[in-house]
Structure 1
Amino acid sequence: MLASQRHTTIMDEIRRTGAVRVQDLTAQLGVSDMTIRRDLEQLAERGLVHKVHGGAVLTLNSSVELGFETKAKLQLPSKSAIAQMAATLIRPGSAIALSAGTTTWNLASLVAKIPGLTIVTNSTTVADLIANTPGAGDQTLILTGGVRTPSAALVGPVADLSLRSLHVDQLFLGAHGMHPTAGFTTPNLAEAETNRALIECASQVVVCADSTKWGSVGLASFGALSTAHVLITDDGLSDDAASLLREKVGKLRMAKLSHEDSPTIVG
């Protein structure tokens, strides 16, 4: 079982019972207690659980916002696979927007090599990566102003105003969480408003979120699940979650995680 699939199972169990024990999870998932402790550590770093002696409990704090450097180390295979799939949707010469986030940051290195793009972003890390990628194409890069958050997003009235004067063909949007009723969420109120401005300026909204984001709820919602014309995630998503998302989003795409194969569409 892949780490992302274990994380999904652990989160399903902890939401059902409110707490999990390491010894129960090792028996349920058939892995070592060291593996489970590492899984719980990664979930705790994302603010999804709170570690206690012998296990973990569900965190109730929906306003936890981890820094960019911390988030960039999490779910790397999933983010890479999602980014590769997202890049196949981009047409040379089009105008696109990339929101802040570590998944869109993974996409940025691929975007930098697509010729003729106009790229709008409210992320300082995305802008830096595109500007400094060797072999970058002849893009036009537009960085919004705004106040920088811990996740390297530029948000607030300046960012919102600049975005509302623009129109792009596609928006590639990250999310802190995705939930059946809360929709797409973030722990930052100002970032939620700026994400709404990004959505309003785009003809097509492509949400890029790994499967561990399912069921997580941040402080502020910025769009219903139906906001996504396309949702790209990974195949660690449970069957029930995939079924629900297919009903809500325009199109669900799941990158198959494999060390040998390229990401493929499985749904």
Structure 2
Amino acid sequence: MGLIPADRQRQILDLIHSGKVVQVQELSERFNVSVLTIRRDLDHLAAEGLVERTHGGATLRRTMSVEPAYTEKALEFPGEKRLIGTATATLIAPGDTIFINSGSTTLEVIRALWKHEITIVTNNIDAAWIANEDAAFKLILVGGAYRTRSHSVSGSLSECLIGNIYANKAIIGVDGFSLQAGLTTPVVEEADTTRFMIERTVGKVIVVAAGNKIGVVSNFRTVGVEEIDTLVTDSTGGNMLSSEELAALGIELIVAE
């Protein structure tokens, strides 16, 4: 006699907690049930907030409750972030006005846009180091309260300036990207400022995220995935996601390699 669903789901969760990325076909054979049954099990666990669905399976839902220091984030996956920056730059056209929020990945996008004749509106203070006299883009830094941990500004003063601008694209970095939970961050001010940028964008919203951000859920929700048009990630992130599933949500997946 087979396991009842609750017991089977408990064993699946134990496998995932052991550090394993589980696959639907593998679980189907292990528990001698149909692929459809396993998919229902994983969907149930995802709805409970216990796992994150991935391409063909599931992994443990990771959380981020404390904001890492910017200096720490800048050292993580530098090569992958450069590739993401280069790939994202190809999506930008001359004359674009772009909102770009804070983060080490978005800073790599700004580097890649150095010779583009566009206008960048950002709360990423480090963008000023890139906008030297040889840069082709026009840089508008929004005001606000400076946060040393993120090298950014946010708050009501930031939103005052953002509220006077309509951008035709937004490039958004995240602390967490989850198909179920959406875009999240451990800092409520960052969530508010980024959300306002998205609300003031009349064109495509492009999310940039290295693979270590996929499947992560943090404290504060910025927007749901239904608000974005494109996700640019690295090969690790691409392996965790299904382009078909994202396409069904209206999201284009670009893997920077």
* TM-score (norm. length: structure 1): 0.70
Deviations 1:141-161 (A, max 9, x none): 111111123111211111112
Alignment of 1:148-159 (within 5 A): 148-149=146-147, 150-159=149-158
Alignment of 1:154-173 (within 5 A): 154-173=153-172
Match of 1:74 among 68, 73, 76: 76
Deviations 1:184-216 (A, max 9, x none): 111101110001111011122111111221110
CA distance in 1, matches of 2:179, 2:73: 23
CA distance in 2, matches of 1:224, 1:89: 22
SS in 1 for 2:99: strand
Q: Is 2:207 aligned against 1:212? A: no
Shift of 1:255: 1.2
**Structure 1: stretches of 5+ with no match in the other structure:** 1-12, 22-57, 257-267
Q: Is 2:254 aligned against 1:253? A: yes
Deviations 1:102-124 (A, max 9, x none): 11101111212112x11100110
Q: Is 2:115 aligned against 1:122? A: no
CA distance in 1, matches of 2:208, 2:67: 18
Equivalent residue, structure 2, for 1:104: 106
Q: Is 2:94 aligned against 1:92? A: yes
Q: 2:231, 2:252 within 8 Å by CA — same for their partners in 1?
A: yes
Cα 1:211–1:59 shift into 2, 3 Å: closer
CA distance in 2, matches of 1:15, 1:179: 21
Match of 2:144 among 143, 146, 154: 146
Q: 2:183, 2:222 within 8 Å by CA — same for their partners in 1?
A: yes
What is the Cα-based RMSD across aligned positions, in Å? 2.4
CA distance in 2, matches of 1:231, 1:120: 20
Shift of 1:245: 2.8
CA distance in 2, matches of 1:234, 1:61: 20
Deviations 1:213-242 (A, max 9, x none): 111011101111121111111121365622
* TM-score (norm. length: structure 2): 0.72
**Number of residue pairs matched by the alignment:** 204
Cα 1:247–1:140 shift into 2, 3 Å: same
Cα 1:114–1:75 shift into 2, 3 Å: same
CA distance in 1, matches of 2:88, 2:112: 9
SS in 2 for 1:106: helix
Letter matched to residue 93 of structure 1: G
Cα 1:239–1:148 shift into 2, 3 Å: same
**Structure 2: stretches of 5+ with no match in the other structure:** 1-11, 21-59
- Aligned identity (percent) is 29
Q: 2:63, 2:216 within 8 Å by CA — same for their partners in 1?
A: no
